[in-house]
């Protein structure tokens, strides 16, 4: 039958879709199945399948296949145009257009678009917008058909079109490997499936080279490695493409000759060859060079006698002296040791001497927290770098912030190789760079382990603050954190702030975590559920961030007929949802790690509006929703740099507990300000406490050491 999609009810991660449909003679029925993947409200489909009855939900149409067709009846055309599929047309305008052109409406838009101005309220500008949106929608629909024929999820069609526009068909037909890295959600396996279906030979050089580059990219994005041993890279590539290793070696050499890969002796094992992606290799070299430049430079910091702060501990005084006398320095320490107070004392001393200070952090949330703790203005590293040539007028930073006499970067464990290189390159010789961090926290999401590498280089001044102050020492969170970093179980009976609740069944754990976050803690502490953050070691699984986030969303903000919503893949955004940007966007003024609330879903404009917790209103297009995630439950990695009043977390050894390790558990516990509650298996908690985790493959420490040992003229 032919039917129109009225509403998406549910979309699962595996693309299983439940949709409300309507058709002549069958108004208001439900269709289900994976064949519905990617359908949108307003589309007309030709469905193949059979009627059945669900024990709880009643009569349903199980779809085995579907095709998109052009709406032909007046009713179907009105639904199509009024759904928001064509940007710029809402229900009222759709009614006016269809009222004027009837069944010929879509033919007019397609073949005689100039006639749209015959309709009241459509001028030349809106007519052009409608025509452009119509063509874009047609192209995406055609891409969906192409992808389905290639056995690839049609949900990727809009992302491919966004990346390549009118060239999308040509890319799919001639070089699908270009999709890797350009389209989120497409790694080698998806691109390779498209390529093989398009006739690319299994042993083609193009395929082997794409696989080599993919293995290096995956090592960086998944495990944080900057390089892989050549032997491991060749083996993993051959396994990925199911070919002999002999086929891989010549293409590895070709990529080196083309300067897309760099091969050199291992920094860890002399005699072993390792391979870098060229851009990673170049940045590691540049970072070492610029760090050596700063370390060797003569300080331009104006030094005068500064007032002693009687509130400082001995190691804090030593840290102040180090920061004022060393052009590059590192201060580390766990919770409660006074890192923020030390930063405030250092900044005060520099300002008293007539110098300038810039405080920064890798994320917006971390920068805001740094400002709150020190009482001084702070910004993200990204914003600081963006302002190095064009400072924002009227801000507290009326000079180039990266040119300050002292630049302090907090949460330095979050600095990946790419951001650290841009940061250090922007600092002029003679300025002081002070990195503050906790080396026991998780390293950066991106490649590298910059803070840990600097601590391995004897030539880099550093101080570890170890004295836990009395007001922090009484906290169960601080005690639990210090027990974890020492490899001891963080069970502290009778001490407020930390609690472990033992449960074995993952489903029960998920239900208990959700109940604590939504009901128990808010009721007991007299706070809103938004003050309780669920943190998850994993993204997938019953207790992963995806499943728990959806569980909490469905209970705190369920679907309702009067509540606008939009499905983006398997994620639904509703008015009232708590969300979080996962990328800095300076045009919008939003930053990774901030939180906000969805205030509007506007299908006609294909936008979602959020209000950040700072009160700013920001619009995201439907094609930008990969930059947003729900904030009901997030990964521990995603929480770095942030702090929450209350934290609840599942600790379960699902999938072997591959993410459970000491640094992750330590980072999780130290995100809480008042209370942290862990729910799960005792053996999983023990696993997390005792598993150290492997070191990342990085060459920065050795590269910097060699650079500092070499005569200055040679660098």
Residues 322-347, mean pLDDT to the nearest whole number:
93
Q: Which two tokens stand for residue 454?
A: 């600097």
The residues pairing with 408 across neighbouring beta strands, listed in sequence order, are: 359, 434
Q: Side by side, which strands form the sheet with 532-536?
A: 498-502, 672-680, 644-651, 532-536, 633-635
Q: Which two tokens stand for residue 132?
A: 């452009």
Asked whether the predicted pLDDT for residue 457 surpasses 70, the reply is: yes
Distances (CA, A) of 48 to 32, 54, 371, 560: 11, 18, 59, 29
Per residue in 75-114, is it b (16+ CB within 10 Å) or e — as a string?
ebbbbbbbbbbbbbbbeebbebbbebbeeebbebbeeebe
Asked whether the predicted pLDDT for residue 703 surpasses 70, the reply is: yes
DSSP 625-667: GGGEEESSEEETGGGTT--EEEEEEEE--GGGGTT--HHHHHH
Q: Say what angle helices 278-296 and 700-709 make with each other, to 10 degrees.
A: 40
- The number of residues making up the chain comes to 715
Residue 566 · residue 608 · CB < 8 Å? yes
Residue 18 · residue 9 · CB < 8 Å? yes
Q: Kindly state the DSSP code that residue 434 receives in the 8-state scheme.
A: E
The phi and psi torsions of 609 (rounded to 5 degrees) equal -110, 135
Q: What is d(CA 563, CA 558) in angstroms, rounded to the nearest whole number?
A: 9
Residue 14 · residue 32 · CB < 8 Å? no
pLDDT of residue 468: 87
- Distance in angstroms between the alpha carbons of the first and the last residue of the chain: 73
Asked whether the predicted pLDDT for residue 687 surpasses 50, the reply is: yes
pLDDT of residue 393: 45
Asked whether the predicted pLDDT for residue 349 surpasses 70, the reply is: yes
Asked whether the predicted pLDDT for residue 551 surpasses 90, the reply is: yes
For 248-258, write each residue's pLDDT tens digit.
999 999 999 99
Query: Residues at the annotated binding site for ATP?
Result: 336-340
The SS3 of residue 673 is strand
Q: What is d(CA 700, CA 280) in angstroms, rounded to the nearest whole number?
A: 11
For 402-423, write each residue's pLDDT tens digit.
789 999 999 999 999 999 999 9
Residues 117-133, mean pLDDT to the nearest whole number:
89
Q: Which two tokens stand for residue 161?
A: 């079109």
Local confidence band at 310 (pLDDT 50, 70, 90 cut-offs): confident
Spell out the residues 6+ positions from residue 405 whose beta carbon is closer than 8 angstroms to its own. 300, 301, 302, 350, 355, 356, 357, 431, 432
The SS3 of residue 145 is helix
Q: What is d(CA 2, CA 24) in angstroms, rounded to the nearest whole number?
A: 8
Domains 165-269 and 475-558+570-680 share a fold: no
Instruction: Kindly report the number of other CB atoms within 10 A of residue 674's CB atom.
Output: 16
Question: Residue 593: is it exposed, middle or buried by C-beta count within 10 angstroms (0-12/13-18/19+)?
Answer: buried
The three-state (H, E, C) secondary structure of 175-193, written as one string: CHHHHCCCCCCCCHHHHHH
For 29-44, write each residue's pLDDT tens digit.
999 999 998 888 999 9
* Domain topology for 475-558+570-680: Rossmann fold (3.40.50)
Number of H helices, E strands in the chain: 25, 26
Per residue in 149-174, is it b (16+ CB within 10 Å) or e — as a string?
ebebbbbbbbbbbbbbeeebeebbee
For 267-304, write each residue's pLDDT tens digit.
888 889 999 999 999 999 999 999 999 999 999 988 76
For 475-509, write each residue's pLDDT tens digit.
889 999 999 999 999 976 656 799 999 999 999 99
Return the percentage of the chain with pLDDT > 70, whole number: 96
Looking at domain 297-386+402-469, what is its CATH homologous superfamily? P-loop containing nucleotide triphosphate hydrolases (3.40.50.300)
Residue 611 · residue 600 · CB < 8 Å? no
Q: What is d(CA 367, CA 351) in angstroms, rounded to the nearest whole number?
A: 20
| Whole-structure pTM value | 0.88
Residue 164 · residue 154 · CB < 8 Å? no
Residue 438 · residue 332 · CB < 8 Å? yes
Query: Residues at the annotated binding site?
Result: 336-340
DSSP 677-691: EEEE-HHHHHHHHH-
Q: Which one, of 664, 678, 651, 654, lies nearest residue 491 by Cα?
A: 678
Q: Kindly state the DSSP code that residue 55 receives in the 8-state scheme.
A: T
Distances (CA, A) of 528 to 278, 426, 515: 49, 42, 13
Residues 616-642, mean pLDDT to the nearest whole number:
92
User: Among 1.10.10.2220, 1.10.3720.10, 3.40.50.970, 2.60.120.10, what is the CATH number of 165-269?
Assistant: 1.10.10.2220
């Amino acid at each position: 039958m032919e039917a129109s999609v009225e509403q998406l009810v549910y979309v699962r991660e595996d693309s299983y879709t439940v949709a409300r449909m309507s058709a002549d003679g069958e108004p208001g029925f439900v269709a289900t199945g994976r064949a519905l993947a990617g359908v949108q409200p307003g589309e007309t489909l030709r469905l193949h399948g059979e009627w059945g009855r669900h024990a709880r939900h009643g009569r349903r149409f199980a779809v085995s296949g579907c095709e998109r067709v052009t709406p032909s009846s007046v009713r179907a055309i009105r639904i199509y145009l009024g759904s928001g599929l064509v940007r710029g047309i809402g229900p009222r305008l759709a009614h006016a257009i269809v009222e004027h052109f009837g069944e010929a409406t879509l033919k007019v838009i397609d073949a005689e678009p100039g006639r749209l101005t015959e309709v009241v309220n459509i001028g030349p500008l809106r007519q052009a917008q409608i025509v452009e949106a119509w063509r874009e929608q047609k192209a995406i629909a055609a891409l969906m058909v192409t992808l389905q024929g290639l056995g690839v999820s049609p949900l990727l069609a809009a992302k491919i079109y966004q990346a390549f526009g009118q060239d999308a068909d040509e890319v799919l037909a001639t070089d699908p490997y270009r999709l890797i890295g350009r389209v989120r959600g497409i790694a080698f396996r998806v691109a390779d499936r498209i390529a093989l279906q398009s006739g690319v030979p299994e042993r083609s050089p193009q395929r082997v080279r794409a696989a080599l580059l993919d293995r290096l990219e995956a090592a960086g994005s998944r495990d944080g490695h900057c390089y892989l041993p050549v032997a491991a890279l060749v083996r993993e590539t051959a396994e990925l493409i199911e070919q002999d290793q002999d086929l891989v070696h010549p293409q590895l050499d070709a990529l080196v000759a083309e300067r897309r890969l760099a091969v050199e002796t291992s920094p860890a094992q002399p005699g072993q060859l390792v391979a870098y992606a060229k851009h990673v290799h170049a940045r590691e070299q540049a970072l070492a060079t610029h760090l050596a430049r700063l370390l060797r430079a003569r300080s331009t910091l104006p030094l005068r006698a500064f007032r002693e702060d009687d509130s400082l501990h001995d190691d804090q005084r030593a840290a102040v002296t180090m920061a004022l006398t060393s052009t590059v320095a590192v201060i580390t320490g766990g919770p409660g040791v006074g890192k923020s107070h030390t930063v405030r004392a250092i900044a005060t001393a520099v300002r008293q001497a007539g110098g300038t200070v810039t405080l920064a952090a890798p994320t917006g949330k971390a920068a805001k927290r740094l400002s709150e703790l020190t009482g001084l203005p702070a910004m993200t590293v990204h914003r600081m770098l963006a302002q190095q040539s064009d400072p924002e007028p009227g801000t507290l930073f009326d000079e180039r912030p990266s040119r300050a006499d002292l630049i302090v970067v907090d949460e330095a464990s979050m600095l990946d190789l790419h951001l650290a290189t841009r940061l250090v390159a922007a600092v002029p010789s003679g300025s002081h760079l002070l990195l503050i961090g906790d080396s026991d926290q998780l390293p950066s999401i991106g490649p590298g382990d910059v803070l840990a590498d600097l601590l391995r280089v004897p030539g880099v001044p550093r101080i570890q603050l170890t004295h836990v102050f009395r007001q922090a020492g009484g906290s169960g969170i601080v005690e639990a954190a210090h027990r974890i970093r020492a490899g001891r179980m963080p069970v502290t009976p009778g001490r407020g702030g930390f609690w472990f609740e033992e449960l074995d069944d993952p489903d029960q754990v998920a239900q208990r975590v959700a109940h604590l976050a939504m009901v128990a803690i808010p009721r007991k502490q007299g706070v809103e559920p938004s003050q309780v953050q669920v943190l998850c070691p994993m993204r997938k699984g019953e207790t992963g961030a995806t499943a728990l986030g959806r569980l909490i969303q469905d209970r705190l903000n369920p679907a309702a007929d009067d509540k606008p919503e939009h499905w983006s893949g398997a994620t639904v955004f509703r008015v009232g949802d708590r969300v979080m940007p996962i990328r800095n966007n300076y045009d919008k003024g939003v930053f990774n790690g901030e939180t906000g609330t969805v205030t509007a879903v506007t299908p006609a404009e294909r936008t979602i509006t959020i209000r950040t917790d700072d009160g700013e209103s920001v619009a995201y297009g439907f094609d930008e929703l990969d930059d947003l995630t729900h904030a009901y439950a997030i990964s521990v990695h995603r929480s770095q740099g942030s702090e929450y009043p209350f934290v609840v977390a599942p600790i379960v050894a699902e999938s072997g507990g591959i993410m459970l390790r000491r640094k992750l558990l330590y980072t999780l516990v130290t995100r809480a300000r008042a209370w942290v509650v862990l729910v799960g298996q005792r053996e999983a908690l023990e696993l997390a406490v005792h598993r150290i985790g492997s070191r990342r493959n990085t060459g920065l420490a050795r590269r910097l050491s060699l650079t500092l040992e070499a005569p200055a003229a040679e660098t």
